Amino acid sequence: TIILTVAVADCVHILITALVAQGRGLNKKAAIVESLNVNAQAVFLTSITTAIGLFSLNFSDAPPYRDLGNFAGMGSIYAWIFSMSLFPALLTILPMKASAVVDRQSRSMEWLADMVISKRKPLMLAMLAITLIGTALLPRLTFNDRFVEYFDERIDFRQASDWAADNLTGIYIINYSLESGEIGGVSDPAYLKRLDNFAQWLRAQPEVLHVASFSDVVKRVNRSFNGDRENFYAVPTNRQLAAQYVLLYEMSLPYGLDLNDQLNVDKSASRMVVTLEDLSTAEMKVLRARALDWLQANTPERMHVEPSGQAVMFSYIGERNFNAMTTGTIIAFVLISACLMLALRSLRLGLISLVPNIAPPAVAMGFFSLYQFEVGFWTAFVGATAIGLIVDATVHMLSKYRHARLELNYSSIDSVRYSFLTVGTALWVCSFVLIAGFMVLTLSPFLINAMLGRVVALTILTALVLDFLLLPALLMWIDGRGDPNAPLKRDAAANATPQAAE
């Protein structure tokens, strides 16, 4: 889906620019050649930046997403190759004719350009205010996951898990390996007492459904050897007696049902199994911290252990992956920004481009917090996936602006108008192609894919709005400082109008 979406987006720019050129009176071949000349650098740059963003998924701790980044990144490069070779060849063979729709779109872009130019100051203030509000909403987001809810209710695994949780027992299990400190130490009454106290404390926690402890086995055997009297359901006070109970119990069990699942070989440690209700990752971390605090306050240092199990692993894998992907996203952003500055050959334009490239993910996630404040594993992939895509619109706007400013000698205002007229239609069509492509992912029964598609689509929409309303205003304010109506070079011979150049 991602590769197909990126490939279509590349072709859209080439096709629409060719149609606009054809609408100005050029024949088909000349229109295609002009489109390739105008878009060659921008399409190459957007393909490279998209690939960089996708390749940054290699920083993920999840192998499937590293594979996704590699396949989609290579697909982006191949999409550029075919869009610059095969697609133009097909355009020369297949019928292509500018329609009235293209002309209407051009008039719409002209109206939008005039509106943005005339209202550039209030638009810039409004967009900056929206950006600040969206960024200020980011602290509302809390990192919290529920592993079972990764899967839609259409999936058999989700249905079985929900039924088991409602009718049988919990599906989350954690294990403690508690050391006694000596060989055969599991028979020590002091160790058994601490083990039993910890089990009792765990049973009192609201998140815990069941605790299986070695101390329970010893207590049951002690009661059985004393006429099943309840007052003997306790840990023996004599170590030799406890050791004999353990030996007799093991000898009485059928073959294969010994205590190897609860004790290690030299009987220096025992395993405690804790079954939990449906917990989120945040709740799991809180329980783990409380249990560790209790162990540190009531047991010797050798028993100060962390729990293990898939439930614990999934509680931290999302956070760890997020930290790793943050590093990857920052590196990708630095590389993409460097590519933009080198390609545009302008530090000023490169710095201006940072605003519409940084802001969309922050604004999108901020306003997303109004809909849902809990985010999970999928959050780590939004920035890396989106950053290479949202640069697309910025690159095309700035490349056309730079072309008009330096080569056509337009003023800052006329350069903005030129950018809208030459690439505006392609940008909104391309953006909506990307949005539609990622919205397809929302149909996935796997929550991570669905949420990734939803938020990346929102990020692309935000980027389009900022590129149309904020970026031109910034260009006229910063690059056109002094007199935005003045050309960059006051060379009368080169001072053509936008209409003549087009």
pLDDT value of residue 258? 78
335 compared with 384, residue with greater pLDDT = 335
At which residue do the structure tokens 């004393």 appear? 226
Whether the per-residue pLDDT at 502 is higher than 80: the answer is: no
What is the average pLDDT across 246-257?
83
Higher local confidence (pLDDT), 488 or 376: 376
For residue 493, pLDDT beyond 50: no
pLDDT of residue 499: 36
Residue 492 pLDDT more than 80?
A: no
Weakest-pLDDT range from 143-147, 325-329, 472-476: 143-147
Average pLDDT over residues 422-440: 86
The confidence score (pLDDT) of residue 133 equals: 95
Mean pLDDT within 338-359: 84
> What pLDDT score does 494 carry?
35
What's the mean pLDDT in 192-204?
95
Q: What is the pLDDT of residues 28-41, one digit of tens each?
A: 888 899 888 888 88
Task: Tell me the C-alpha to C-alpha distance, in Å, between residue 433 and each of 296, 333, 349.
Answer: 57, 23, 27
pLDDT at position 501 is: 34
Residue with tokens 């007492």: 193
CA 356/CA 450 separation, integer angstroms? 25
- List CB contacts of 384: < 8 A, sequence separation 6 or more: 53, 54, 56, 57, 59, 69, 325, 328, 329, 332
Q: Distance (Å, rounded) from C-alpha 363 to C-alpha 372?
A: 14
| Averaged pLDDT of the chain | 86
**pLDDT tens digits for range 408-428:** 888 889 999 988 988 888 888
Check pLDDT > 50 for residue 490. Answer: no
Please give the radius of gyration of the chain, using alpha carbons only, rounded to the nearest integer.
Answer: 32
Q: The domain 38-72+100-136+321-501: what is its CATH number?
A: 1.20.1640.10
Say if residue 293's pLDDT is above 90: yes
Q: Does the pLDDT of residue 208 top 90, yes or no? A: yes
* Opening angle at CA 14, ends 9 and 17, nearest 5: 120
Amino acid at residue number 15: L
Per-residue confidence (pLDDT) for residue 496, from 0 to 100 = 34
Quote the pLDDT of residue 495.
Answer: 36
| Integer Cα distance of 273 and 282 in angstroms | 20
Judge whether residue 352 has pLDDT over 60.
yes
Neighbours of 256 (CB within 10 A): 6
So what's the pLDDT on residue 429? 85
Comma-separated ranges of CATH 1.20.1640.10 domains in the chain? 38-72+100-136+321-501
3-state helix, strand, coil in the chain (%, to 5): 75, 5, 20
